[in-house]
């Protein structure tokens, strides 16, 4: 079955264009025009990816993204916005988005970014287990001491990178190249590590190597 993508934009012409483009690429598309409808659509059936406009009236895209993540959605989220300041991009990433595309954009770039974020965290093998920490890269399921840990797509991808190199330093530059690419902003790896530490709980498993990167010490 082809991937299902939820598209959310309050501009009917943009919504129609996105729906036509993604359908032509073989995706199943749910197209809605506001944040409330987006939350309802996800409640009915979780998509494999979300294309989400930021500048919507009422509940904007950042609020929608935060609520989707709080509700447990781990599918990648691509934000669409007319604003490209660093503060705006940071806000999007902190809300739980995986990438950020500035309007107006070329359709080819939209498709390339969706493909890129879909590849992040894809399996390179079976379940990875290090100590009491287990990660299923296919299902994006994480267990610590048997307790399920809900992570975003990007957090899961970063954890996988650390798990595949236990007790070895993963540099910030390597993490940026592997997981963020053009969506990288200042301190984004550190922010993601902080979120991982909080969600994984005590005792902390990820140690900071000052000025270099991070190491998983289960």
User: Residue 42 — pLDDT band, cuts 50, 70, 90?
Assistant: very high
Structural domain count, the chain? 2
Q: Domain ends where: 87, 119, 151? A: 119
Q: What is the predicted pLDDT for the residue at 1?
A: 46
Question: Looking at residue 151, which CATH number applies to its domain?
Answer: 1.10.10.10
Q: What percentage of the chain carries pLDDT values higher than 70? A: 94
Cis-peptide into 203, omega within 30 deg? yes
Q: Which of 175, 154, 16 lies closest to 78, judged by CA?
A: 154
Residues 93 and 35 in one domain: yes
What are the pLDDT digits (tens) for 109-166?
888 888 777 766 554 446 888 888 888 877 778 999 888 898 888 888 899 889 888 8
Residues 80 and 183 in one domain: no
What is the 8-class DSSP label of residue 205?
-
Q: Domain ends where: 119, 153, 174? A: 119
Tokens at 173, concatenated:
């530059």
Q: What is the predicted pLDDT for the residue at 119?
A: 64
What rounded mean pLDDT belongs to the chain?
A: 86
The pLDDT of 40-53, averaged and rounded, is 91
188-200 and 153-163 are packed helices; what angle lies between their axes, rounded to 10 degrees? 80
Largest CA distance in the chain: 51
Q: What is the predicted pLDDT for the residue at 124?
A: 45
Residues 25 and 94 in one domain: yes
Residues 48 and 91 in one domain: yes
Q: What is the predicted pLDDT for the residue at 182?
A: 60
Burial grade of 99 (CB within 10 A; 0-12, 13-18, 19 or more): buried
Residues 93 and 150 in one domain: no
Residues 88 and 167 in one domain: no
Domain residue limits at 18: 4-119
Q: Domain ends where: 88, 119, 150? A: 119
Percent helix, strand and coil across the chain, each to the nearest 5: 40, 20, 35
Bridge partners, residue 149, by sequence: 142
Residues 63 and 100 in one domain: yes
User: Residue 2 — pLDDT band, cuts 50, 70, 90?
Assistant: low
DSSP E strand boundaries for the chain:
4-8, 28-32, 49-53, 77-81, 99-102, 128-130, 133-136, 141-144, 147-149, 169-171, 206-209, 213-216
Of 34 and 218, the structure prediction assigns the larger pLDDT to: 34
The pLDDT of 155-183, averaged and rounded, is 83
CA distance readout (Å), 77 to 66, 86, 204, 216: 11, 18, 28, 27
Residues 92 and 172 in one domain: no
Residues 113 and 132 in one domain: no
Using the Cα atoms of residue 94, residue 185, residue 78 and residue 18 in order, give the sign of their dihedral. Answer: positive
Question: Looking at residue 52, which CATH number applies to its domain?
Answer: 3.40.50.2300
Residues 87 and 148 in one domain: no
What dihedral angle (degrees, nearest 10) is formed by the CA atoms of 83, 107, 181, 52? 50
């Amino acid at each position: 079955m082809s991937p299902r993508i939820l598209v959310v934009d309050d501009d009917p012409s943009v919504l129609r264009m996105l729906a036509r483009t993604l359908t032509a690429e073989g995706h199943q598309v749910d197209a809605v025009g506001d944040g409330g409808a987006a939350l309802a659509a996800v409640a009915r059936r979780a998509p494999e990816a979300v294309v989400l406009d930021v500048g919507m009236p009422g509940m904007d895209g950042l609020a929608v993204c935060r609520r989707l993540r709080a509700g447990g959605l781990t599918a990648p989220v691509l934000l669409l916005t007319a604003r490209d300041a660093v503060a705006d991009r940071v806000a999007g990433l902190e809300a739980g988005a995986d990438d950020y595309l500035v309007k107006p954009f070329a359709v080819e770039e939209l498709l390339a970014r969706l493909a890129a974020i879909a590849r992040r965290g894809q399996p390179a093998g079976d379940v990875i287990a290090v100590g009491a920490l287990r990660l299923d890269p296919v299902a994006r399921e994480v267990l610590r001491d048997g307790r399920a840990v809900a992570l975003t797509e990007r957090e899961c991808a970063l954890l996988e990178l650390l798990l595949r190199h236990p007790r070895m330093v993963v540099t910030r530059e390597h993490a940026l190249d592997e997981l963020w690419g053009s969506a990288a902003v200042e301190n984004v790896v550190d922010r993601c590590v902080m979120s991982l530490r909080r969600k994984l709980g005590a005792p902390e498993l990820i140690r900071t190597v000052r000025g270099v990167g991070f190491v998983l010490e289960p």
